[in-house]
Amino acid sequence: MQFMSRERIKDHWREQRIFFFRALAAGIIAALLILLLVSRLVVLQVFNFEHYSDLSRGNRIRIEPIPPIRGLIFDRNGVVLAENRPAYQLEMVREQVPDVESTLKRLTEAHLIRETDLAGIRERLGRTRKFEAVPLRFRMSDEEVARFAVQRQHFTGVDIRARLARHYPMGPRAVHAVGYVGAISNNDLQRLDPTAYAGTSHVGKVGVERAYESSLHGRVGYRQVLVNAQGRALQTIENNPPVPGKDLRLSLDARLQATAFDALDGRRGAVVAIDPRDGGVLAFVSTPGFDPDRFGAGLSHEEFAALNADPDKPLFNRALRGNYPPGSTIKPLLGLAGLHHGATTPGHSTFCPGFFQLPGREHKYRDWKREGHEHVTLFDAIVQSCDVYYYEMALELGIDRIHAYLASFGLGEASGIDIQGEKPGLLPSREWKRSKYARPADQAWFPGETVITGIGQGFMLATPLQLAHVTATLAARGRRLQPHLLAAIIDPANGALEPAVTQPLGSAGSDEPGYWNLILAAMEEVVHGERGTARAIAPQSYRIAGKTGTAQVFAIAQEEEYEAESVEERLRDHALFVAFAPVDAPRIAISVIVENGGSGSSTAAPVARAVLDSFFEEPES
Amino acid sequence: MIFDDASGFRDTQRLSIVGRVLRRMHVDAVLLSALLTVAAFGLVALYSAGGQDADMVMRQGARIGIALLALLLVAQLPPGVLRMWSPWVYLGGIMLLVAVLVTGDIGQGARRWLDLGVVRFQPSELMKLAMPMMAAWYLHDRSLPPSTGQVFIVLLIIVAPTVLIALQPDLGTALLIAASGLFVVLLAGLRLRLIAIIGGLMALGAPLLWYFMHDYQRQRVLTFLNPERDPLGAGYHIIQSKIAIGSGGIFGKGWLNGTQSQLEFLPEPDTDFVFAVLGEEFGLFGLLGLLGVYIFIVARGMFIASQGQDTFSRLLAGSISLTFFVYVFVNAGMVTGLLPVVGVPLPLISYGGTAIVTLMAGFGILMSVHTHRKLLSR
C-alpha cells in the first residue's frame, strides 16, 4: 500500500537540521519585523519629532465633536411639525472647574439649575469624555441668561452657549404622532452608539422622532483644536463638518390634525384618519395632549409627576395604545362575514323584539332600542344598528369563523404602523380563552360570549388606529395597506427624495362584489338615510359612509379609582364613529373615539364630520 | 553571550557558586536575568504610567513574584513529564473553555472568566501553553517533516480552542494561541507547498472571520485601516499614542515627565498602551534598549530550543519563544499604529492580569528544556 511505503524512519540528525533552518527563517522574518518597527519609531521620534512635540508640549491637541443638526419634520404640504431654534443653555467643562460639587451647589443656590436636576447632571458628568461640555440647564430664559452673565466670573468652567433646541409648532396637537426629543438617558445609551452621539444632548423618545432617529440624527463631525494648558481652545487645526440629519415629510396633514384635535375639544379621545389608497396616515390625534417642547427643555420632577398623575392621562397615546371595545362599529365587518359564510343572506329578515334569548335560557340580551326594530334585514341592521339581528347572526357564525374573518382584517394584531409601542388590541378565540384563564371552568368558551362579540362587546378590544385601518380596508374593498406616517425622507443637501414604500398586507374579506356593495351602501345609508344613526351629520357637498358605535365601559370603571364627583361621567359609554368618504372614490377613512362621550351618533360622529369638512374644503393658500 | 554556554553542562566546574546553585534549581541564569531586567524596567514604567501609585507597583511586584514561583515550579519538571501531561492539559483546557462559554462570568461584555470560588481564572491562559504542548506532543514521535494528514490533524488541534476562545469573544487571544500552534508545525518542517495551501485557506477564511466578528472588533479593523474614520472613538487611541511616542524624541522627556500620559491624554497608559508611555518618557533610546532585551530573550529561547534533545522539547521551546516575539511585536505595532488595536498587553510590563504568570511558566518550560539535558554519547 502507498501508506506503508511512505512510512519513514525517524532521522534525528535530519530533524535537527530542519529545525535549525526553520528557526533561522523565523529569526530572519523576526529581524525584518523588528527593522520595520524600529524604522517606524525613527519616523515618529526622529523625523516627526517636531510635529508631535508641538502637539504635545505647551499646546495640546483636542478633538471636539460637532453635533449634527437634526433633520426637520414636515407635514404632507410642507407645514413644519418639528424644527430647531437657537436657545441658550448652561454648560460645564468638568476639567476646568476647580470644585464640581461646590459649583453645582452655588448654581443651585443662584436658581440657575434645579435641585431635582442634580441627579441627571451627575449622571451626565460621569459619562462624558474629557473636556466635553456637559449641559446643566437647557433653554434658559432671557432673565436667567442675564442673571448668569453678571455672576459669570464666580463660575469658572461654566458658560452659556447658544445651541439648537427642538421646537414643535403644533405643540400638543401633534405630539402623539410626531413625538418629542428629550435629554439622552443612560437607558438610551444602551441602544445608541456613543461616538455617533458625542456632543449631542437630545434623542427622539417616542413617535416619529424616535422611529426615524437614525435618519433625523445625521453624522457627527469633529474638529481638532489646539488648547492651552487650561484646556481653552486656541486654534482649530482641522475641521470636519457634521452631516445634517435628513428631513422627513409625513403623510400627516397639519390642518386635519389641528381640526381633529380642536373638535375633540379637550375631551379624552382619539382620531385617526388614513388615506385608503396608500395607507398614509392623515391625522393621528390623541387627547388630551401635552407640550413636547417642555420635554426637550427638561421637565422638573414635579412637572413630570403632575403629568403622570393627571386623571386624563395626557401622556397616554390613545390612538396607538388605547384598547377600546369596538362596539357597533364592527357590524359592517361582521355583516360581510355573515354573507361570506352564508350565516345570513341579503334578503334574510329577522324580527327584533328589543331583546334576544339563547334557546332555553332566561337571560335577555338587550337591543339598544328597548322597543325593538321590528322586521330588519342585514341592510337595516347596519343602518339602524340593530343588535338583535347581530346576536342571532353571530351565534350562527360561531366564534371560530368570526375570529378567522376579523383576523384577516388585522384585528387582534398590531397594524405595523411606523412608530413604536403599538398595542395589538384583542380578538378573542377559544384558544385565547384557554391560555388566558387558569381555572378549567373559566377556559371554556360560552355561546353567550359569541352573542355579545356580535356587537363588538365582551372581550374584543381594538385601538383607534386599528379601527381606522379596518375602515380604510373596507373603503378599499379588502385591499389592506400598512398604515404609515412617513411619506418621504428628504436629503437636505440636494433635495433628493426617498419616498416611503407602502407595504401591502394582502386582501381581506370577500371576493363577491355584491356583498361589498350591500355593506358599503348600508354604511352610506347610516349617514345619508332617513333612519340612519348618523343622519345628523350628513353633509350636502359630499357623501360619507359610516358606522356609529357605543361601547360599555364598566370594566374600565372597575379598574381605576376616580374622584367621587367624576365617577358618573367616567361610567358613561364610549362614543365611536368610523367613516370613509367620498363613497364612490374614497380618499379618507377615519375613526373617532370619545371616551365616556355617550352615544357615537351624538358625540363621535360630529368630530368626524368636522375633520371631513376640513379635508374636502380647498386648502387655504 | 547567548551562545556562551553551548557546552556549559559538560564542564560544570567552570561555573561560579551562584551559577551552580541556579543550575541545581534548573534555572537558566542568562534567561532569568534578562527577564528580571524587563520586569524591573516595567515596574519603574508602571509607577509613572499608573499615576505614581506605589500600591499599584507593589501589587504588580507581587504578581511578578508569583509568576517567578510558577517559573521555578515548571522548571523542575523534566520535558518528558511535560510531554506525558500534554494531552491531559490540553483536554482539560478544552473542557474549561467549554465550561466558560456555558457558565463563565461576564466581564466587559465577554465571557472569559471561570469562577472557582477562591480565584477567578481565565482558561484561555492555560491554553496558551497547552496548545503548543499538544501540537508538539502529537508531532513528537512522527517522522518529520510531517505528512499532509498529520498536518491536518494538528490543524484540528489548533482550530478547536481557537474557535472556543473566539466565541468568548476574545479574538486577539484566539489568534495568538492559534499562532503558537502554527509555530510548532512550521518548526517541525512544514512543506512549502502546505504553507502555501494553509495560507490560501486563511485568506479565504478572512471573510468568514469578518462575519463572526463583533461590531467593536470590526470597528477596530476599519479604524486601523483608516484612523481618521473614528477620531472620537478608537482612532483617538492611536492618535494620542502616536503623539506620545513622537513627542518623546530621541532621549525622551524623562521619567514622570510625559505630558501625554501624566495628563491622561493617553488612554490605558498602564496596560495596553504602556509602550507609548515608555516612548514618551525614555525616547527612542529607551525603546531600542527595551526591544534589545526582548530580542535577547527571544534569541536565547531559540538557542535553548535548538539545543533541545528531543523533538518535543525543540518544538515546544521554539514555539514559546516565537509566540513571545509575536506578543511584543503586536503590542508595539499596535501602539505605534502599524497594526490594529487588538488589546494585546506588552509582555512582562503591562499591569495586571494572569498573563504574566502564564508567560513565566512558559519560560519555566524553556529552562526545563535547557537544564534537564543528559550527556549523550555521540
User: Each residue of A40-78: pLDDT tens digit?
Assistant: 999 988 988 888 887 776 556 677 788 899 999 999 998
Selected residue with higher pLDDT from A441 and A232: A441
How far from the centroid of its chain's Cα atoms is residue B40's Cα?
A: 18
A384-428 per-position pLDDT tens digit? 889 889 998 998 999 999 999 999 999 999 999 999 999 999 999
Eight-state DSSP code of residue A364 = -
Residue A509: what residue type?
G
The Cα A493–Cα A305 span in angstroms is: 42
pLDDT band (50, 70, 90) for residue B16:
confident
User: CA quadruple B115, B330, B69, B55: dihedral positive or negative?
Assistant: negative
Bridge partners (DSSP) of residue A489 are A248, A498
| Subunit contact B245:A45, Cβ cutoff 8 A | yes
| Contacts (Cβ under 8 Å, ≥6 apart) of A245 | A68, A69, A70, A71, A215, A216, A217, A218
CB-based contacts of A366, cutoff 8 Å, min separation 6:
A354, A355, A387
CA distances from B139 to A348, A426, B172, B310 (A): 91, 68, 26, 11
Q: Identify the CA nearest to A59 among candidates A198, A236, A238.
A: A236
User: Among A422-426, A573-577, B169-173, which is the least confidently predicted range?
Assistant: B169-173
C-alpha cell at B146: 510531517
Nearest CA in chain B to A11: B143
Q: What is the pTM of this model?
A: 0.62
> How many whole angstroms separate alpha carbon A46 and alpha carbon B263?
23
- The answer on pLDDT for A162 being more than 70 is yes
A146 burial class (0-12, 13-18, 19+ CB within 10 angstroms)? exposed
pLDDT greater than 50 at residue B132: yes
* DSSP-H helix ranges across A265-327: 292-297, 301-309, 318-321
Residue A617 has pLDDT above 80, yes or no: yes
Strands A80-93 and A60-66: unpaired
- Rounded-to-integer distance, Cα A266 and Cα A271, Å: 13
Query: In A, which residues are within 8 Å of B265 by CB distance?
Result: 60
In angstroms, rounded to a whole number, what is the distance separating the alpha carbons of residues B333 and B309? 35
Q: Which residue of B has its CA nearest to A230?
A: B263
Contact A34/B143, CB-based, under 8 Å? no
> What is the reported pLDDT for B378?
40
Give the mean pLDDT of B135-139.
92
pLDDT > 60? residue B376: no
CA distance A40 to B83: 41
A52 with B187: Cβ contact below 8 A: no
Rounded mean pLDDT, B229-240: 69
CA distance B343 to chain A (A): 18
> What does the pLDDT average to over A213-231?
79
Mean pLDDT, residues A123-148 taken together: 81
The stretch B22-46 carries a mean pLDDT of 90
Does the CB of B246 have a partner CB in chain A at under 8 Å?
yes
> CA A358, CA A450: separation in Å to the nearest integer?
11
Q: Residues A132, A134, A136, CA angle at the centre, nearest 5°? A: 165
Is B336 in contact with A222 (Cβ distance < 8 A)? no
A38 → closest Cβ in B183, B288, B337: B288
pLDDT of residue B106: 56
pLDDT band of residue A6 (cuts 50, 70, 90) is very low
Q: Rounded to an integer, what distance in angstroms lies between the CA atom of residue A184 and that of residue A97?
A: 23
Whether B329 sits inside 8 A of A195 (CB atoms) is no
Residue A182 pLDDT more than 90?
no
Contact B147/A at CB under 8 A: yes
Output the CA torsion sign for A326, A327, A330, A334: positive
Give me the half-sphere count of Cα atoms (radius 13 Å) on the Cβ side of residue A490: 15
Q: Contact, B58 vs B351, CB < 8 A? A: no
3-state SS assignment for residue A269: strand
The span from the CA of A594 to the CA of A266, in Å, is 10
Query: H or E stretch including A497?
Result: strand A497-499
- Cβ of residue B319 closer than 8 Å to a chain A Cβ: no
Place of cell 330588519: A376
Which one is predicted more confidently, B42 or A299? Answer: B42
Q: Which residue of B has its CA nearest to A7?
A: B143
Q: In this structure, are residues A199 and A221 in contact, taking their beta carbons and an 8 Å threshold?
A: no
Distance of alpha carbon B31 from alpha carbon B365, whole angstroms: 12
Looking at residue B307, its amino acid is Q
Give burial (CB, 10 Å; 0-12/13-18/19+) of B186: buried
Give the residue carrying C-alpha cell 506605589. B54
Q: Of the spans A229-233, A506-510, A539-543, B322-326, which averages the highest pLDDT? A: B322-326
Question: Is the CB of residue B102 less than 8 Å from the CB of residue B145?
Answer: no
Q: What is the mean pLDDT of residues B20-33?
A: 86
Distance CA(B126)–CA(B277), nearest Å, equals: 29
Nearest to A23 among B144, B244, B302 (CB): B302
A560 falls in which pLDDT band (50, 70, 90)? very low
Q: What is the DSSP letter of A600?
A: I
Q: What is the pLDDT of residue B1?
A: 47
Report the pLDDT value the prediction gives residue B233, as an integer from 0 to 100.
Answer: 62
DSSP string covering B66-98: HHHHHHHHHHTS-HHHHHHHHHHHHHHHHHHHH
* Residue from the list A38, A46, A56 with its beta carbon closest to the beta carbon of B250: A46
Nearest to B187 among A8, A23, A41 (CB): A23
Residue A484 DSSP class: B
The amino acid at A504 = P
Query: Are A16 and B338 in contact (CB < 8 Å)?
Result: no
Confidence of residue B104 (pLDDT cuts 50, 70, 90): low
Kindly state whether B244 is in contact with chain A, defined as any CB-CB distance less than 8 angstroms: yes
Q: Is the ipTM of this complex over 0.95?
A: no
Helices vs strands, H then E, count in chain B? 14, 3
| Nearest CB to B232; choose among A37, A51, A63 | A63
pLDDT at B270: 79
Give, for A226, the enclosing helix (H) or strand (E).
strand A221-227
Percent of chain A residues topping a pLDDT of 90: 38
Rg (CA), chain B: 21
Is residue A504 reached through a cis peptide bond, with omega within 30 degrees of 0 on the bond before it? Answer: no
Phi, psi of A281 (to 5 degrees): -85, 125
Q: What digits encode the pLDDT tens for the residues A514-551?
A: 899 999 999 999 999 888 888 888 888 899 999 999 88
Q: Name the band, by pLDDT with cuts 50, 70 and 90, for residue A464.
A: very high
pLDDT score recorded for residue B220: 66
CB A22 to CB B336 under 8 A?
A: no
Instruction: For residue A5, list chain B residues with Cβ-Cβ distance below 8 A.
Output: none
Which residue's entry shows cell 362575514?
A337
Q: Does B195 touch chain A (CB under 8 A)?
A: no
- Shortest distance, CA B288 to any CA of chain A (angstroms): 8
Q: Which of B185, B219, B229, B232 to mutate to test the interface with A (most CBs of A within 10 A)?
A: B232
pLDDT of residue B28 exceeding 50: yes
Catalytic residues of A: 328
- SS3 of A183, please? strand
Residue in A closest to B310 by C-alpha: A12
Residue B10 pLDDT > 80: no
> Nearest-CA residue of chain B relative to A59?
B259
Q: What does B218-284 look like in DSSP terms, one character per residue?
A: HHHHHHHH-GGG-TTTHHHHHHHHHHHHHHHTTT-S-TT--HHHHTT-SSSTTTTTHHHHHHHHHHH
φ, ψ of residue B227 in degrees (nearest 5): -60, -25
Confidence of residue A18 (pLDDT cuts 50, 70, 90): confident
Residues 6+ apart with CB under 8 A from A98: A156, A157
Q: Give B99's Cβ-side CA count (13 Å radius).
A: 14
Q: Could you tell me the end-to-end alpha-carbon distance of chain B, in angstroms, rounded to an integer?
A: 25
Using CA atoms, how far apart are residues B185 and B155, in angstroms rounded to an integer? 9
Give the model confidence (pLDDT) of B178-216 as tens digits.
999 999 988 888 777 777 887 788 777 777 777 777 776
